Amino acid sequence: FGYVRVAEISPELVPANIGYNTEAILLALREASREGCQVALFPELSITGYTCADLFYQSLLLSHAVESLIRIADETSRVPISVVVGLPLAIEGRIYNCAAFASGGHVLGIVPKTYLPTTNEYYEERWFTSARENKVTDVEVGGVRVAFGTDLLFRASNVAGCILGIEICEDLWAPNQP
- Find the catalytic residue in 37, 52, 75, 113: 113
Sheet containing 82-91: which strands, arranged edge to edge?
6-8, 39-41, 82-91, 94-103, 106-112, 144-148, 138-141
- The strand ranges marked E within 30-93 are 39-41, 82-91
Cβ count within 10 A of residue 165: 13
- Find the catalytic residue in 44, 67, 167, 170: 44
- The sign of the torsion formed by the CA atoms of 143, 60, 96, 25 equals positive
Nearest to 131 by CA among 165, 99, 163: 99
Question: How far lies 59's CA from each of 55, 134, 142, 171, in Å?
Answer: 9, 20, 16, 26
> Is 44 noted as a catalytic residue in this protein?
yes
Q: How far apart are CA 87 and CA 104, in angstroms?
A: 19
What number of helices (H) and strands (E) belong to the chain?
4, 9
Active site residues: 44, 113, 169
